[in-house]
Structures are given as C-alpha cells and as structure tokens.
Amino acid sequence: MIFCVEDERGFGQILGEDIVALACMIGERVLLNEGVEKSISDRIEASLYIVDDDEIREINSGHRGIDAATDVLSFPNIEYDGEDAASVLEAGVPDSEDPETGHILLGDIVIDSDRALLQAKEYGHSVRREFSFLIAHSMLHLLGYDHMTEDEAKLMENRQEAVLSGLGITRG
C-alpha cells in the first residue's frame, strides 16, 4: 500500500509519528482483512490530504452540495458494482492504473485535522486512534463500502473495529 500524503498543516507533528507510515499500516491491514493479495496490495496507491474546517467545507460543498465541514471525505476511483474489492482488484482495473508506475489508483481521502482533534477529545481517546479510525473508515469507502442503511453501517463498523483491534489501536 502506498500513500501520497499532503500534510501542509503539520498534523504528523501533532500525532508525533510518521503519518505516511501510520496510514500505510492501516491501509495494508484493511486490504489484508478484505482478502486482497499482497502482490496486489503492494501496487495500490491512495492520496491523503490533511485539511482544516474551511478547506473540507469547501470541498464538501463543491463535490456533494453540502455546505458544512465534516471529519472525512472519500473519493473512490473504482466502481465495484456489488463485487467484492479483492475480486475486482485481482481481475485488474485498467482505467485506474497509472501507466508509468503500474500502481492501482484507489482514490482520495481528505481528513479534517480540526475535526479529528475535536472528536478525539469528545470520544476520550487519542488523536492517533481517531486518525486511524478515519483512515480505516475511508479505506473501506474506497473499497466500495457505504453506510446508508443500518445493515451497511453495522458491516462497516465491524470491519473498522477488526482493523483497529488487529493493530492494537484501541479506545482510551
């Protein structure tokens, strides 16, 4: 898993660790849990942008018509049409492959660092845990998951928790 990170706000300094390494670790665990072969996951690339309330509000308004800040936005580059991500990725997605690198361009994740800090405090856990949750949540969106119904939401929650607990990233 490869993450291209734009962190002009210095959120990695707040976390006190390498933000790229943490994002890659979480992304790789999501892919592993979803059954994506290592030979494929090594070629998967996603972009991560760390922004503030104003920037995410502007993005949310422009792309979704919602004039409000949110904690995270996900912009998938692949359509799964009801198929599981592992099958789609292993079959190949030529329209989503970078011809120069051969990387599979999974999509973009935009995290509001202001919200991440606030939510960590509100939920009583570390900023690292909140950031990790947002990455796991967004990775699942990039792999075709959604939470529009109660069943979909429960499935995503279970998948997110499996990723985080598997990495020892717990609440508190």
Residues 164, 144, 49, 30, CA torsion sign? positive
Split at pLDDT 50, 70, 90, the class of 172 is low
Provide the token pair at 98: 């970078």
> Is 156 a domain residue?
yes
What's the domain count of the chain? 1
**Could you tell me the pTM of the whole model?**
0.95
pLDDT tens per residue across span 130-158: 999 999 999 999 999 999 999 999 999 99
Residue percentage of the chain with pLDDT more than 90: 91
Token representation of residue 160: 């997110």
Read off the CATH number of the domain in which 23 is found: 3.40.390.30
Six token digits for residue 145: 């998951």
Can you give the residue range of the structural domain that contains 47? Answer: 2-166
Task: State the sign of the Cα–Cα–Cα–Cα dihedral 35, 138, 165, 28.
Answer: positive
User: pLDDT grade, residue 169 (50/70/90)?
Assistant: very high
Residue 101 has pLDDT above 70, yes or no: yes
Residues 157 and 163 sit within 8 Å (Cβ to Cβ): no
Domain assignment present for 172: no
Domain for residue 135, yes or no?
A: yes
- Amino acid found at 128: R
